[in-house]
Structure 1
Amino acid sequence: MFDEVDDALKRLLEEEMDIDSSEIDIRFEQPKREWSARLNRPTVNLFLYDVRENVKRRTQSPAWLETGGGGNSITQTHQPIWMDLHYMITAWTKDPQDEHRLLSNVIMAFLRHPYLPENVQEGELAENPMEKPIKVAQYDALQNMDKLWAAMDNEYHATVDCTLSLALDPFEEITTPVVKTIDVSTGQSFTPGSGLFEDQGDSLRSWSVAGTVHSGESLEDIRLILLERGQYIPIDPAGRFFITNLREGEYTLDVLVEGRAAEQHILTVPSDDYDIEV
């Protein structure tokens, strides 16, 4: 995808600077001495000298986002990983004033576009729905440039930094069934760790259940109370709720909606469906 970023930046500069490709080159080379010595016409060079994760954009939690897969499934997508692509921009002409003019035009072109325009993107880059921020001539970029130029065995040249941030998602979406009931059994075991217990009937058997509240009302205005326990049941922003340590049988959920009379819903444990329509 990085090669597609190169192509997009080239198209952006050609459009913004009205460059005739027969008169001015846009290249992506390492500006070594032998390379610059071979140039025979004005050239704008964007050398990709550094690629690293932008840790300021890293999302610690949650690493995975959940979206409704529809019905009895749920889809998980990983948070994108943001990479910063650092380009070292130089202009090469015989006249220093022409170099300065080219550099200033490059800076103005990028300043007009804080994000990479969609019309210059192609391929996988265009399919990536995330915006691609562009920063140019930042004060904290391009440190120790004398060492970089020395490593390339070339004379120090006026240099501008351009950083493009790109969201990458190397992970595939995961679609799994929604777990609505968990059967939990406790007791003494002849063989610890095997999961096999002595027969003690259903006295120590419990269930954990999960369901979803479906409503045209704001979920913030809905409250659930398990009457048998007098227990308030939290609802997450997606309408999901979870109740643990239930014995087999029927339970009553009071559904309280602001401005409406209370409704009662019967939960049968275990069951195939615990969703509630309000």
Structure 2
Amino acid sequence: MLEDLDDTLKFLLKKKLPRRWKRKVTFSFDLPVEVKIDATDLAAINLFLYDVRDNLELRTSAYSVARQYQSVPNNQVRVTKLPPKFVDISYLITTFAHDEANNIGEKVEQEHSLLGEVMKVLLLFPQIPEEYLRGNLQGYDLPVYTAFMHQNGTKTLGEYWQAMGGKPKAVLNLTVTMPVPMNLEEEEEELPIIKEKPVIVGGILPYYNDRRIVIEEKNDSGKEQKEEATGKE
């Protein structure tokens, strides 16, 4: 499912970036120091997935009712399933301008311009609309949230750049909260249908709000007989 999230973010940005960038930007999910830009492209957007964590705030263990159906005339079957889990997927997003930029200042300016456009697109969608979801993220009718958050864990951004062997660059720290359906077998539980009947206690029929209750029965001869009570003595 992680590749589906990659495709979703790529598709969303391709659709929503300004026209000047739409057809002249390549996408990369490699380490931010290994980004290659095609000769025909102006720049690259790198989305580096660096952290996956269980979202404990959205966790629930309660089963949900998937559907119900009637198995026999007097019984119903309730089908239950485990609720989805939610995980937080964190990306470092940065941009790279083409090496053929006239000078370093122009290159950095292009990178910051593109990074700002990426930020605006993602801020527009705190929840990614269904039409932009790709792959297995489609069809579940479950939300996919986005948020710009502080660095997870104990490492600073400087330590990340040092570990990757690259020079520090401006980055966006994006966290996507994504549902993960539990594809376990559904459990079926057969439930009898309960029908309520008036109960006669001590030969007195029940009554409700002084309204007359009529109980129809069949006697031994098969003829219907009616017994009435008003609830008043």
Q: TM-score under structure 2 normalisation?
A: 0.70
Post-superposition offset of 1:21:
5.8
Post-superposition offset of 1:81:
0.3
Is 2:151–2:173's contact at 8 Å kept on the other side of the alignment?
no
CA distance in 1, matches of 2:207, 2:150: 56
Post-superposition offset of 1:73:
0.9
Is 1:66–1:75's contact at 8 Å kept on the other side of the alignment?
yes
Task: Summarize deviations over 1:199-234 as a string: whole Å, max 9, x none.
Answer: xxxxxxxxxxxx5579xxxxxxxxx99999xxxxxx
Shift of the 175–98 alpha-carbon distance from structure 1 to 2, 3 Å rule, reads same
Q: Does 1:14 align with 2:18?
A: no
CA distance in 2, matches of 1:73, 1:105: 52
Secondary structure of the residue aligned to 1:12 is helix
User: Within 5 A, what are the aligned runs for 1:72-87?
Assistant: 72-87=76-91
Is 2:150–2:173's contact at 8 Å kept on the other side of the alignment?
no
Task: Summarize deviations over 1:160-207 as a string: whole Å, max 9, x none.
Answer: 111111111123352424154xxxxxxxxxxxxxxxxxxxxxxxxxxx
User: What do you get for the CA RMSD once the two structures are aligned?
Assistant: 3.4
Post-superposition offset of 1:115:
1.2
- Per the alignment, residue 104 of structure 2 pairs with none
Match for residue 171 of structure 1 among 178, 183, 192? 183
Question: Which ranges in structure 1 are unaligned for 5 or more consecutive residues?
Answer: 181-210, 215-223, 229-253, 266-278
Post-superposition offset of 1:133:
0.8
Is 1:65–1:76's contact at 8 Å kept on the other side of the alignment?
yes
Higher mean C-alpha deviation, range 101-110 or range 123-132: 123-132
CA distance in 1, matches of 2:93, 2:53: 18
- Aligned-partner residue type, residue 70 of structure 1: Y
Is 1:73–1:175's contact at 8 Å kept on the other side of the alignment?
no
Identity of aligned residues (%): 22
- Per the alignment, residue 130 of structure 1 pairs with 142
Higher mean C-alpha deviation, range 21-30 or range 46-55: 21-30
- Per the alignment, residue 69 of structure 1 pairs with 68
Is 1:44–1:92's contact at 8 Å kept on the other side of the alignment?
yes
Shift of the 43–262 alpha-carbon distance from structure 1 to 2, 3 Å rule, reads farther
Shift of the 171–261 alpha-carbon distance from structure 1 to 2, 3 Å rule, reads farther
Is 1:65–1:77's contact at 8 Å kept on the other side of the alignment?
yes
The count of corresponding residues between Structure 1 and Structure 2 is 194
CA distance in 2, matches of 1:139, 1:154: 21
- Aligned-partner residue type, residue 130 of structure 1: L
Q: Larger strand proportion, structure 1 or 2? A: 1
Is 1:46–1:89's contact at 8 Å kept on the other side of the alignment?
yes
- Aligned-partner residue type, residue 32 of structure 2: P
Shift of the 18–73 alpha-carbon distance from structure 1 to 2, 3 Å rule, reads same
User: Within 5 A, what are the aligned runs for 1:126-275?
Assistant: 126-136=138-148, 138-139=149-150, 141=152, 143-180=155-192, 211-212=193-194
- Per the alignment, residue 90 of structure 1 pairs with 94
Is 2:199–2:206's contact at 8 Å kept on the other side of the alignment?
no
- Per the alignment, residue 226 of structure 2 pairs with none
- Aligned-partner residue type, residue 94 of structure 2: T
Task: Summarize deviations over 1:15-37 as a string: whole Å, max 9, x none.
Answer: 111355652212111113xx14x
Shift of the 141–52 alpha-carbon distance from structure 1 to 2, 3 Å rule, reads closer
CA distance in 2, matches of 1:146, 1:227: 81
